[in-house]
Amino acid sequence: MAIIVMSHEMGAGGPEIGQLLGQRLGYRYVDQELISDAAHRYGLQEEKLSHLDESKPSLFERFDAETRRYITVIQTALYEFAEHDNVVLMGRGGQWLLRGIPHVVRVRVMAPFEIRVKRVAKKLAGQLGEQTNQRRVVDMVRRDDTEKLGRMRYLYEVDLRDSALYDVVISTEKLSMEAAVEVIASLARRPELATTEAGAQLVARRALASRLQVALATHPETRKYRTTVEAKAGVVTLEGTAALDEALDVARSVEGVREVKTQQVDIPPIPPFVA
């Protein structure tokens, strides 16, 4: 059946719907597990992975090669979970990373701002056992919205609210969690969304390219440069301006790579100053 990728606004009920959906379909529900798994397999700090997973990188971090490596690891972990199929993936730009995959259903869960604030306040009050500060909750929800928008814009140059990123948008203003689950589950069972060999190969290609990007971002020489990677049936093509010999060696060491091609990109000369 289909892979479900979910994007949600704070307080709209996305995680709750995702968990119920996983139970209904017999799918694996993946949220924070993705970060823990990535940290474990790639030997990175889970705290920094969580930070970059939830917010837009700071101005300093945007120019930091190590930050690029961490972000690439998060993306790679998402692709690798998608390779296993039958999974509900929460957030992390999956609606963009898995675009064009026939058996992926991209879902956006939202609700009016005021309703979301009330739900978050009620949840916090239940956890803390005391009345919460309304102004603080409003700021929390607004900040979360801003961070998610900024992160998607920085990473992929897209607007998180663009309806073209989703196959279905669900408002939980009136719909109950159970009703939302029923809608998404019925879509996941549609025959036209069944996993095909061609669709599985598309996911595998992106996963391999992303694993190679992690390797390039880890190597002390290739991490200094941006190299474009394309993969198809184990054949990868590297395109960059420098360190392609080193990138070639790195690519050959990545599991799943059968053949490597390179293409040098020349930097255009700076035109002379004309008074």
pLDDT tens, position by position, 78-88: 999 999 899 99
pLDDT of residue 91 exceeding 70, the answer is yes
The 10s digit of each residue's pLDDT in 32-62 is 888 888 888 888 888 888 877 766 666 556 5
Contact 135, 74 (CB under 8 A): no
pLDDT of residue 126 exceeding 90, the answer is no
pLDDT of residue 273 exceeding 50, the answer is no
Q: What is the pLDDT of residue 46?
A: 84
The 10s digit of each residue's pLDDT in 160-180 is 999 999 999 999 999 999 999
Sequence-distant (≥ 6) Cβ neighbours of residue 255 within 8 angstroms = 211
pTM of the model: 0.85
- Is pLDDT larger for residue 54 or for residue 233? 233
Confidence bin at 275 (pLDDT 50/70/90): very low
∠ CA 198-81-38, rounded to 5°: 140
- Is residue 75 helix, strand or coil? helix
**Mean pLDDT confidence for 130-139:** 85
Sequence-distant (≥ 6) Cβ neighbours of residue 119 within 8 angstroms = 11, 13, 111
Measured CA distances, 66 to 21, 48, 221, 248 (Å): 35, 11, 13, 21
Contact 146, 208 (CB under 8 A): no
> Which helix or strand (DSSP H or E) is residue 115 part of?
helix 113-128
Handedness of CA 45, 51, 56, 57 (dihedral sign): negative
Contact 196, 103 (CB under 8 A): yes
